[in-house]
Structure 1
Amino acid sequence: MKNDVKVHEVSSAVLKGRREFLKISGITLAGTGLMLAGCSSNDDEGGSSSSQLPGVRNGKFDLGGGDLGVLTYAYALEQLEADFYTRVVNNASFTSTFNAEEQQVLTDLYNHEVIHREFFKAAISGALSSAGQDVNAHLLPSLAFDYGTLNFGNRMQVLATSKALEDTGVAAYNGAGYIITNPDYLVIAGKIVSVEARHASAIRSLINPNSKDFAGDDVVSATNGLDQARKPSVIIGEVVALDFIQTQFTAQYLP
Protein backbone atom coordinates (compact mmCIF):
# COMPACT_ATOMS: atom_id res chain seq x y z
CA MET A 1 0.00 0.00 0.00
CA LYS A 2 1.35 3.42 -0.93
CA ASN A 3 0.31 6.78 0.46
CA ASP A 4 1.53 9.77 -1.50
CA VAL A 5 3.59 12.60 -0.11
CA LYS A 6 2.60 15.87 -1.71
CA VAL A 7 5.43 18.35 -1.97
CA HIS A 8 4.55 21.86 -3.08
CA GLU A 9 7.25 24.24 -4.23
CA VAL A 10 7.34 27.66 -2.63
CA SER A 11 6.24 30.32 -5.08
CA SER A 12 8.64 33.13 -5.90
CA ALA A 13 8.29 36.34 -3.92
CA VAL A 14 10.26 39.38 -2.91
CA LEU A 15 11.80 38.84 0.51
CA LYS A 16 11.55 41.82 2.83
CA GLY A 17 13.54 41.43 6.01
CA ARG A 18 14.16 38.47 8.25
CA ARG A 19 10.51 37.66 8.89
CA GLU A 20 9.63 37.57 5.18
CA PHE A 21 12.72 35.42 4.65
CA LEU A 22 11.34 32.95 7.19
CA LYS A 23 7.73 33.29 6.10
CA ILE A 24 8.39 32.38 2.48
CA SER A 25 10.62 29.49 3.53
CA GLY A 26 8.17 28.09 6.05
CA ILE A 27 6.57 24.69 5.89
CA THR A 28 2.82 25.07 6.20
CA LEU A 29 -0.12 22.73 6.24
CA ALA A 30 -1.52 24.15 3.02
CA GLY A 31 -0.23 26.24 0.16
CA THR A 32 3.52 26.65 0.40
CA GLY A 33 6.17 24.27 1.66
CA LEU A 34 5.04 20.75 2.51
CA MET A 35 1.48 19.58 2.77
CA LEU A 36 0.68 16.91 5.30
CA ALA A 37 -0.89 14.22 3.17
CA GLY A 38 0.22 10.98 4.69
CA CYS A 39 3.52 9.28 4.21
CA SER A 40 4.96 7.33 1.33
CA SER A 41 6.16 3.81 1.88
CA ASN A 42 7.67 2.05 -1.10
CA ASP A 43 8.35 -1.09 0.88
CA ASP A 44 6.52 -2.90 3.65
CA GLU A 45 8.20 -1.18 6.56
CA GLY A 46 9.35 2.22 5.40
CA GLY A 47 12.91 1.09 4.69
CA SER A 48 13.42 -0.60 8.08
CA SER A 49 13.61 -4.33 8.68
CA SER A 50 11.26 -5.68 11.35
CA SER A 51 14.25 -6.30 13.62
CA GLN A 52 15.19 -2.61 13.44
CA LEU A 53 11.79 -0.97 13.84
CA PRO A 54 11.59 1.79 16.46
CA GLY A 55 10.31 0.50 19.79
CA VAL A 56 11.12 -0.44 23.36
CA ARG A 57 14.20 -2.61 23.80
CA ASN A 58 15.55 -3.54 27.21
CA GLY A 59 13.22 -1.09 28.90
CA LYS A 60 14.12 1.95 26.77
CA PHE A 61 12.73 3.23 23.50
CA ASP A 62 15.17 2.70 20.64
CA LEU A 63 14.92 4.99 17.61
CA GLY A 64 15.36 2.05 15.24
CA GLY A 65 17.27 1.83 11.97
CA GLY A 66 16.77 2.46 8.27
CA ASP A 67 14.36 5.10 7.01
CA LEU A 68 12.00 4.84 9.97
CA GLY A 69 14.94 5.16 12.31
CA VAL A 70 15.98 8.41 10.62
CA LEU A 71 12.41 9.73 10.69
CA THR A 72 12.13 8.88 14.39
CA TYR A 73 15.50 10.52 15.06
CA ALA A 74 14.25 13.67 13.33
CA TYR A 75 10.98 13.46 15.27
CA ALA A 76 12.89 13.44 18.56
CA LEU A 77 14.87 16.54 17.55
CA GLU A 78 11.74 18.33 16.35
CA GLN A 79 10.00 17.56 19.64
CA LEU A 80 12.85 19.34 21.43
CA GLU A 81 12.77 22.39 19.17
CA ALA A 82 8.98 22.65 19.27
CA ASP A 83 8.93 22.41 23.06
CA PHE A 84 11.67 25.02 23.40
CA TYR A 85 9.94 27.61 21.21
CA THR A 86 6.58 26.87 22.84
CA ARG A 87 8.12 27.89 26.15
CA VAL A 88 9.79 30.93 24.59
CA VAL A 89 6.65 32.46 23.08
CA ASN A 90 4.46 31.58 26.07
CA ASN A 91 6.83 33.00 28.66
CA ALA A 92 5.22 35.81 30.67
CA SER A 93 8.03 38.23 29.78
CA PHE A 94 8.15 37.39 26.05
CA THR A 95 6.90 40.79 24.86
CA SER A 96 9.13 42.72 27.26
CA THR A 97 12.25 40.63 26.59
CA PHE A 98 12.19 40.79 22.79
CA ASN A 99 11.51 43.66 20.41
CA ALA A 100 8.76 43.46 17.79
CA GLU A 101 10.95 41.97 15.06
CA GLU A 102 12.41 39.38 17.40
CA GLN A 103 8.94 38.41 18.60
CA GLN A 104 7.83 37.88 15.00
CA VAL A 105 10.88 35.78 14.14
CA LEU A 106 10.60 33.62 17.27
CA THR A 107 6.87 33.16 16.73
CA ASP A 108 7.52 32.05 13.15
CA LEU A 109 10.12 29.57 14.38
CA TYR A 110 7.65 28.28 16.95
CA ASN A 111 5.02 27.73 14.25
CA HIS A 112 7.49 26.01 11.91
CA GLU A 113 8.85 23.64 14.55
CA VAL A 114 5.41 22.61 15.77
CA ILE A 115 4.47 21.82 12.16
CA HIS A 116 7.70 19.84 11.70
CA ARG A 117 6.98 17.85 14.85
CA GLU A 118 3.42 17.05 13.81
CA PHE A 119 4.54 16.21 10.28
CA PHE A 120 6.99 13.59 11.50
CA LYS A 121 4.44 12.14 13.89
CA ALA A 122 1.96 11.76 11.03
CA ALA A 123 4.61 10.49 8.61
CA ILE A 124 5.88 7.78 10.95
CA SER A 125 2.35 6.79 11.94
CA GLY A 126 1.35 6.55 8.28
CA ALA A 127 4.35 4.41 7.35
CA LEU A 128 3.78 2.05 10.28
CA SER A 129 0.07 1.77 9.59
CA SER A 130 0.55 1.06 5.88
CA ALA A 131 3.02 -1.68 6.81
CA GLY A 132 0.53 -3.28 9.20
CA GLN A 133 2.58 -2.38 12.26
CA ASP A 134 1.26 -1.31 15.67
CA VAL A 135 1.65 2.47 15.69
CA ASN A 136 1.46 2.72 19.48
CA ALA A 137 4.26 0.18 19.88
CA HIS A 138 6.63 1.78 17.38
CA LEU A 139 5.94 5.54 17.54
CA LEU A 140 8.30 7.52 19.76
CA PRO A 141 6.25 8.83 22.71
CA SER A 142 6.15 12.47 23.71
CA LEU A 143 9.46 13.30 25.35
CA ALA A 144 9.86 15.12 28.67
CA PHE A 145 12.02 18.25 28.84
CA ASP A 146 13.66 20.30 31.58
CA TYR A 147 15.76 23.36 30.79
CA GLY A 148 17.33 23.67 34.22
CA THR A 149 18.65 27.17 34.90
CA LEU A 150 17.86 28.53 31.43
CA ASN A 151 16.10 31.86 31.94
CA PHE A 152 13.41 32.28 29.28
CA GLY A 153 13.21 35.95 30.27
CA ASN A 154 16.85 36.53 29.32
CA ARG A 155 17.23 37.56 25.68
CA MET A 156 20.78 36.35 25.14
CA GLN A 157 20.24 33.02 26.91
CA VAL A 158 17.22 32.29 24.72
CA LEU A 159 18.91 33.36 21.48
CA ALA A 160 22.09 31.45 22.30
CA THR A 161 20.07 28.30 23.01
CA SER A 162 18.07 28.81 19.83
CA LYS A 163 21.31 29.18 17.85
CA ALA A 164 22.67 25.95 19.32
CA LEU A 165 19.47 24.02 18.55
CA GLU A 166 19.13 25.34 15.00
CA ASP A 167 22.80 24.76 14.13
CA THR A 168 22.51 21.25 15.54
CA GLY A 169 19.34 20.62 13.55
CA VAL A 170 20.99 21.59 10.27
CA ALA A 171 24.00 19.36 10.93
CA ALA A 172 21.67 16.53 11.97
CA TYR A 173 19.63 16.52 8.76
CA ASN A 174 22.73 16.92 6.60
CA GLY A 175 24.44 14.05 8.39
CA ALA A 176 21.50 11.65 8.16
CA GLY A 177 20.54 12.16 4.53
CA TYR A 178 22.85 9.47 3.19
CA ILE A 179 21.07 6.84 5.31
CA ILE A 180 17.67 7.46 3.70
CA THR A 181 16.73 5.09 0.88
CA ASN A 182 13.19 6.27 0.11
CA PRO A 183 13.38 9.21 -2.33
CA ASP A 184 10.17 10.74 -0.98
CA TYR A 185 11.63 10.88 2.51
CA LEU A 186 14.85 12.36 1.14
CA VAL A 187 12.90 15.15 -0.57
CA ILE A 188 11.10 15.90 2.69
CA ALA A 189 14.36 15.97 4.64
CA GLY A 190 15.86 18.32 2.06
CA LYS A 191 12.90 20.66 2.34
CA ILE A 192 13.02 20.74 6.12
CA VAL A 193 16.79 21.21 6.42
CA SER A 194 16.53 24.24 4.13
CA VAL A 195 14.03 25.74 6.58
CA GLU A 196 16.23 24.87 9.56
CA ALA A 197 19.16 26.60 7.85
CA ARG A 198 17.06 29.74 7.43
CA HIS A 199 16.14 29.55 11.10
CA ALA A 200 19.81 29.35 12.06
CA SER A 201 20.66 32.28 9.79
CA ALA A 202 17.85 34.45 11.19
CA ILE A 203 18.82 33.78 14.82
CA ARG A 204 22.48 34.50 14.11
CA SER A 205 21.45 37.81 12.52
CA LEU A 206 19.42 38.73 15.61
CA ILE A 207 22.42 38.03 17.83
CA ASN A 208 24.89 39.94 15.67
CA PRO A 209 23.08 42.20 13.17
CA ASN A 210 24.73 43.37 9.95
CA SER A 211 27.54 40.84 10.27
CA LYS A 212 28.67 37.75 8.39
CA ASP A 213 27.61 35.52 11.27
CA PHE A 214 24.41 34.50 9.46
CA ALA A 215 26.67 32.09 7.55
CA GLY A 216 29.66 31.97 9.86
CA ASP A 217 32.77 29.91 9.23
CA ASP A 218 31.92 27.90 12.34
CA VAL A 219 28.99 26.27 10.51
CA VAL A 220 29.59 26.92 6.81
CA SER A 221 32.81 25.67 5.27
CA ALA A 222 34.93 28.44 3.80
CA THR A 223 36.29 25.85 1.36
CA ASN A 224 33.15 24.42 -0.22
CA GLY A 225 30.35 26.65 1.10
CA LEU A 226 28.47 23.74 2.65
CA ASP A 227 26.90 23.50 6.09
CA GLN A 228 28.25 21.03 8.59
CA ALA A 229 27.01 17.43 8.57
CA ARG A 230 27.30 15.14 11.59
CA LYS A 231 26.20 11.55 12.06
CA PRO A 232 23.25 10.73 14.33
CA SER A 233 25.48 9.27 17.06
CA VAL A 234 27.43 12.53 17.26
CA ILE A 235 24.30 14.70 17.25
CA ILE A 236 22.61 12.59 19.91
CA GLY A 237 25.69 12.93 22.10
CA GLU A 238 25.60 16.71 21.71
CA VAL A 239 21.88 16.89 22.48
CA VAL A 240 22.21 14.62 25.51
CA ALA A 241 25.01 16.87 26.79
CA LEU A 242 22.57 19.81 26.81
CA ASP A 243 20.58 17.85 29.41
CA PHE A 244 17.25 19.21 28.14
CA ILE A 245 15.71 15.84 27.20
CA GLN A 246 14.72 13.92 30.31
CA THR A 247 13.28 10.84 28.59
CA GLN A 248 15.95 8.22 28.00
CA PHE A 249 16.19 6.54 24.60
CA THR A 250 18.77 4.62 22.59
CA ALA A 251 19.84 4.63 18.94
CA GLN A 252 21.70 1.37 18.50
CA TYR A 253 20.88 1.00 14.79
CA LEU A 254 21.88 4.49 13.66
CA PRO A 255 25.51 5.29 12.73
Structure 2
Amino acid sequence: MKKTLLENSVSEDKQMLSMVNRRYFLRSAGVAAATGAFILGACTDHDIQGDQTVDLGSGDVGILNYAYALEQLEAAFYTQVMMTPYAGMSAEEKMILTDIRDHEIVHRQFFKAALGGAAIKGLTPNFSSINFSDRASVLGAAKLFEDTGVQAYNGAGKLIVSADYLLLAGKIVSVEARHASAIRDLLMPNTGSFAGDDVLVSIMGFGGFDGAVPPSVILPAVQPFVMDKISGANLPS
Protein backbone atom coordinates (compact mmCIF):
# COMPACT_ATOMS: atom_id res chain seq x y z
CA MET A 1 0.00 0.00 0.00
CA LYS A 2 2.77 2.44 0.89
CA LYS A 3 4.56 1.67 -2.32
CA THR A 4 1.46 2.35 -4.38
CA LEU A 5 0.76 5.68 -2.68
CA LEU A 6 4.33 6.88 -2.98
CA GLU A 7 4.77 5.71 -6.55
CA ASN A 8 1.54 7.43 -7.54
CA SER A 9 2.82 10.62 -5.92
CA VAL A 10 6.07 10.44 -7.94
CA SER A 11 4.04 10.17 -11.14
CA GLU A 12 1.83 13.10 -10.15
CA ASP A 13 4.85 15.22 -9.23
CA LYS A 14 6.59 14.54 -12.52
CA GLN A 15 3.46 15.38 -14.47
CA MET A 16 3.11 18.63 -12.53
CA LEU A 17 6.72 19.57 -13.19
CA SER A 18 6.47 18.86 -16.92
CA MET A 19 3.20 20.75 -17.29
CA VAL A 20 4.13 23.92 -15.40
CA ASN A 21 7.03 25.84 -16.84
CA ARG A 22 8.08 29.31 -15.76
CA ARG A 23 6.04 31.15 -18.37
CA TYR A 24 2.81 29.38 -17.46
CA PHE A 25 3.50 29.65 -13.73
CA LEU A 26 3.93 33.41 -13.83
CA ARG A 27 1.06 33.91 -16.26
CA SER A 28 -1.32 31.83 -14.16
CA ALA A 29 -0.67 34.14 -11.21
CA GLY A 30 -1.44 37.21 -13.30
CA VAL A 31 2.15 38.41 -13.41
CA ALA A 32 2.39 40.20 -16.73
CA ALA A 33 5.37 41.88 -18.36
CA ALA A 34 4.50 45.14 -16.62
CA THR A 35 5.34 43.60 -13.25
CA GLY A 36 8.54 41.94 -14.42
CA ALA A 37 10.62 44.58 -12.65
CA PHE A 38 9.19 43.44 -9.33
CA ILE A 39 10.16 39.83 -10.02
CA LEU A 40 13.69 40.82 -10.92
CA GLY A 41 13.91 43.14 -7.94
CA ALA A 42 13.01 40.32 -5.58
CA CYS A 43 16.26 38.52 -6.33
CA THR A 44 18.59 41.53 -6.36
CA ASP A 45 19.39 41.53 -2.64
CA HIS A 46 20.43 37.91 -2.36
CA ASP A 47 22.38 38.09 -5.62
CA ILE A 48 24.46 40.96 -4.21
CA GLN A 49 24.81 39.52 -0.72
CA GLY A 50 26.34 36.27 -1.95
CA ASP A 51 27.25 34.23 1.13
CA GLN A 52 25.53 36.64 3.52
CA THR A 53 21.86 36.61 4.53
CA VAL A 54 19.48 35.03 2.02
CA ASP A 55 16.34 37.18 1.84
CA LEU A 56 13.35 35.14 0.70
CA GLY A 57 11.60 38.21 -0.70
CA SER A 58 8.02 39.39 -0.33
CA GLY A 59 4.50 38.55 -1.49
CA ASP A 60 3.78 35.30 -3.28
CA VAL A 61 7.33 35.19 -4.63
CA GLY A 62 8.63 35.24 -1.07
CA ILE A 63 6.31 32.39 -0.05
CA LEU A 64 7.42 30.34 -3.06
CA ASN A 65 11.05 30.94 -2.10
CA TYR A 66 10.16 29.88 1.44
CA ALA A 67 8.82 26.59 0.08
CA TYR A 68 11.84 26.29 -2.23
CA ALA A 69 14.20 26.67 0.73
CA LEU A 70 12.43 23.91 2.66
CA GLU A 71 12.41 21.62 -0.36
CA GLN A 72 16.14 22.22 -0.87
CA LEU A 73 16.74 21.10 2.70
CA GLU A 74 14.61 17.96 2.39
CA ALA A 75 16.04 16.98 -1.00
CA ALA A 76 19.60 17.34 0.30
CA PHE A 77 18.78 15.29 3.39
CA TYR A 78 17.25 12.33 1.56
CA THR A 79 19.97 12.43 -1.08
CA GLN A 80 22.54 12.02 1.68
CA VAL A 81 20.50 9.27 3.32
CA MET A 82 20.52 7.20 0.15
CA MET A 83 24.18 7.95 -0.62
CA THR A 84 25.18 6.60 2.80
CA PRO A 85 22.44 4.15 3.89
CA TYR A 86 22.32 3.47 7.62
CA ALA A 87 23.26 0.03 8.89
CA GLY A 88 20.52 -2.55 8.55
CA MET A 89 18.32 -0.54 6.16
CA SER A 90 15.66 -2.99 4.98
CA ALA A 91 14.47 -3.35 1.41
CA GLU A 92 11.14 -1.75 2.37
CA GLU A 93 12.88 1.19 4.04
CA LYS A 94 15.15 1.66 1.05
CA MET A 95 12.15 1.68 -1.28
CA ILE A 96 10.23 4.22 0.80
CA LEU A 97 13.18 6.53 1.41
CA THR A 98 14.19 6.41 -2.26
CA ASP A 99 10.65 7.36 -3.30
CA ILE A 100 10.59 10.24 -0.83
CA ARG A 101 13.98 11.43 -2.07
CA ASP A 102 12.67 11.45 -5.64
CA HIS A 103 9.57 13.40 -4.58
CA GLU A 104 11.62 16.05 -2.80
CA ILE A 105 13.98 16.47 -5.75
CA VAL A 106 11.00 16.98 -8.06
CA HIS A 107 9.50 19.52 -5.65
CA ARG A 108 12.83 21.38 -5.39
CA GLN A 109 13.30 21.52 -9.15
CA PHE A 110 9.69 22.55 -9.64
CA PHE A 111 10.04 25.62 -7.44
CA LYS A 112 13.41 26.49 -8.96
CA ALA A 113 11.98 26.39 -12.48
CA ALA A 114 8.79 28.20 -11.49
CA LEU A 115 10.62 31.06 -9.77
CA GLY A 116 13.20 31.47 -12.51
CA GLY A 117 15.31 34.56 -11.89
CA ALA A 118 13.47 35.28 -8.65
CA ALA A 119 14.68 32.06 -7.00
CA ILE A 120 17.03 32.26 -4.05
CA LYS A 121 20.44 30.65 -4.41
CA GLY A 122 21.17 27.02 -3.65
CA LEU A 123 21.47 26.70 0.12
CA THR A 124 24.23 24.81 1.93
CA PRO A 125 22.82 22.25 4.37
CA ASN A 126 24.25 21.60 7.82
CA PHE A 127 23.55 18.02 8.86
CA SER A 128 26.33 17.78 11.45
CA SER A 129 23.81 16.89 14.16
CA ILE A 130 22.57 13.85 12.25
CA ASN A 131 24.32 10.47 12.39
CA PHE A 132 23.60 9.08 8.94
CA SER A 133 24.89 5.64 9.91
CA ASP A 134 22.26 5.33 12.66
CA ARG A 135 18.66 4.39 11.84
CA ALA A 136 17.11 6.20 14.80
CA SER A 137 19.00 9.40 14.05
CA VAL A 138 18.07 9.37 10.36
CA LEU A 139 14.40 8.51 10.81
CA GLY A 140 14.12 10.92 13.73
CA ALA A 141 15.44 13.71 11.52
CA ALA A 142 13.15 12.61 8.67
CA LYS A 143 10.16 12.77 11.03
CA LEU A 144 11.17 16.27 12.11
CA PHE A 145 11.60 17.47 8.52
CA GLU A 146 8.34 15.96 7.26
CA ASP A 147 6.19 17.12 10.18
CA THR A 148 7.73 20.57 9.89
CA GLY A 149 7.16 20.62 6.13
CA VAL A 150 3.46 19.84 6.45
CA GLN A 151 2.98 22.47 9.14
CA ALA A 152 4.94 25.00 7.08
CA TYR A 153 2.83 24.55 3.96
CA ASN A 154 -0.38 24.72 5.98
CA GLY A 155 0.81 27.84 7.77
CA ALA A 156 1.80 29.56 4.54
CA GLY A 157 -1.41 28.74 2.70
CA LYS A 158 -3.38 31.69 4.08
CA LEU A 159 -0.56 34.03 3.05
CA ILE A 160 -0.74 33.13 -0.65
CA VAL A 161 -2.72 35.55 -2.81
CA SER A 162 -2.77 33.64 -6.11
CA ALA A 163 -5.37 30.89 -6.27
CA ASP A 164 -3.13 29.00 -8.70
CA TYR A 165 -0.20 29.04 -6.30
CA LEU A 166 -2.48 27.95 -3.47
CA LEU A 167 -3.74 25.00 -5.52
CA LEU A 168 -0.19 23.87 -6.30
CA ALA A 169 0.87 24.24 -2.67
CA GLY A 170 -2.14 22.16 -1.66
CA LYS A 171 -1.12 19.37 -4.00
CA ILE A 172 2.44 19.36 -2.69
CA VAL A 173 1.46 19.39 0.99
CA SER A 174 -0.75 16.34 0.40
CA VAL A 175 2.36 14.49 -0.77
CA GLU A 176 4.37 15.78 2.20
CA ALA A 177 1.66 14.47 4.53
CA ARG A 178 2.05 11.01 2.97
CA HIS A 179 5.78 11.24 3.62
CA ALA A 180 5.17 12.14 7.26
CA SER A 181 2.83 9.20 7.73
CA ALA A 182 5.23 6.76 6.06
CA ILE A 183 8.18 7.87 8.20
CA ARG A 184 6.13 7.67 11.40
CA ASP A 185 5.00 4.17 10.46
CA LEU A 186 8.63 3.11 9.97
CA LEU A 187 9.46 4.40 13.43
CA MET A 188 6.42 2.86 15.14
CA PRO A 189 4.85 0.25 12.83
CA ASN A 190 1.32 -1.01 13.38
CA THR A 191 0.41 1.86 15.70
CA GLY A 192 -1.57 5.07 15.39
CA SER A 193 1.63 7.11 15.16
CA PHE A 194 1.13 7.71 11.43
CA ALA A 195 -1.56 10.19 12.48
CA GLY A 196 -0.42 10.98 16.01
CA ASP A 197 -2.03 13.40 18.42
CA ASP A 198 1.27 15.27 18.59
CA VAL A 199 0.71 16.70 15.09
CA LEU A 200 -3.06 16.62 14.60
CA VAL A 201 -5.22 19.45 15.92
CA SER A 202 -8.90 20.28 16.21
CA ILE A 203 -10.50 23.10 14.21
CA MET A 204 -13.96 24.40 15.13
CA GLY A 205 -14.54 21.30 17.21
CA PHE A 206 -13.52 18.85 14.51
CA GLY A 207 -10.32 16.86 15.02
CA GLY A 208 -7.86 15.17 12.68
CA PHE A 209 -6.30 18.22 11.02
CA ASP A 210 -2.57 18.76 10.54
CA GLY A 211 -1.22 21.81 12.33
CA ALA A 212 -0.45 25.12 10.61
CA VAL A 213 2.66 27.02 11.69
CA PRO A 214 3.73 30.45 10.31
CA PRO A 215 7.11 31.10 8.66
CA SER A 216 8.19 33.19 11.66
CA VAL A 217 8.23 29.98 13.72
CA ILE A 218 9.36 27.51 11.04
CA LEU A 219 12.43 29.42 9.86
CA PRO A 220 14.18 29.57 13.28
CA ALA A 221 13.39 25.87 13.72
CA VAL A 222 15.11 24.83 10.48
CA GLN A 223 17.94 27.38 10.61
CA PRO A 224 20.32 25.00 12.50
CA PHE A 225 20.17 22.69 9.48
CA VAL A 226 21.28 25.37 6.99
CA MET A 227 24.67 27.07 6.81
CA ASP A 228 23.24 30.17 5.14
CA LYS A 229 21.34 32.72 7.22
CA ILE A 230 17.76 32.82 5.94
CA SER A 231 15.63 35.91 6.40
CA GLY A 232 11.85 35.93 6.09
CA ALA A 233 11.59 39.52 7.29
CA ASN A 234 9.75 40.61 4.16
CA LEU A 235 7.31 37.71 3.99
CA PRO A 236 3.61 38.45 4.41
CA SER A 237 2.17 37.72 7.84
Q: Shared topology, TM-score over 0.5?
A: yes
Under a length normalisation based on structure 2, what TM-score does the superposition of the two structures give? 0.86
| Aligned residue among 156, 162, 187 for 2:167 | 187
Flag the structure with higher helix content: 2
Give the counterpart of 2:157 among 177, 195, 200: 177
Shift of 1:77: 0.2
Q: Is contact 1:97-1:154 (8 Å) kept? A: no
Describe the SS at the equivalent of 1:169. helix
Pairs within 5 Å for 1:6-155: 17-26=1-10, 27-30=12-15, 35-38=18-21, 39-41=25-27, 42-44=30-32, 50=38, 53-56=42-45, 59=49, 60-91=53-84, 93-94=85-86, 96-125=87-116, 135=117, 138-155=118-135
Query: What's the Cα RMSD here?
Result: 2.3
- Between 1 and 2, higher relative CO (CA 8 Å, sep ≥ 6) is seen in 2
State how far apart, in whole Å, the 2-side matches of 1:161 and 1:227 are: 19
User: How far is the alpha carbon of 1:53 from its aligned partner?
Assistant: 2.3
Unaligned runs of 5+ residues in structure 2 are none
Q: Distance in 2 between matches of 1:73 and 1:148?
A: 23
1:110 Cα shift? 0.3
Which residue does 2:231 correspond to in 1? Answer: 250
Question: Which SS does the other structure have where 2:219 is aligned?
Answer: helix
* CA–CA distance in structure 2, aligned partners of residues 233 and 89 of structure 1: 31
Q: Which residue of 2 is the match for residue 225 of structure 1?
A: 208
Secondary structure at the aligned position of 2:45 is classed as strand
Give me the whole-angstrom Cα distance separating, in 1, the residues matched to 2:68 and 2:32: 21
CA distance in 2, matches of 1:106, 1:62: 31
AA in 2 matched with 1:144: T
SS in structure 2 of the partner of residue 28 of structure 1: helix
Aligned-pair CA distance for 1:28: 3.0
Q: Taking structure 1 as the reference length, what is the TM-score of the superposition?
A: 0.80
**Percentage of pairs with the same residue:** 43
Asked if 2 retains the 8 angstrom alpha-carbon contact of 1:170 and 1:193, the reply is: yes
Kindly provide the amino acid, as one letter, of the partner of residue 152 in structure 2: A
What letter matches 2:74 in structure 1?
Answer: E
Determine if contact 2:54/2:228 at 8 Å carries over to the other structure: no
Partner of 2:184: 204
Rounded Cα–Cα distance in structure 2 between residues aligned with 1:205 and 1:45: 47
- The answer to whether the 8 Å contact 1:54/1:140 transfers is yes
Is the contact made by 1:47 and 1:182 (CA closer than 8 Å) also made in structure 2? Answer: no
1:77 and 1:169 in contact (8 A); partners too: yes
Opposite residue 209 of structure 2, the aligned amino acid is L
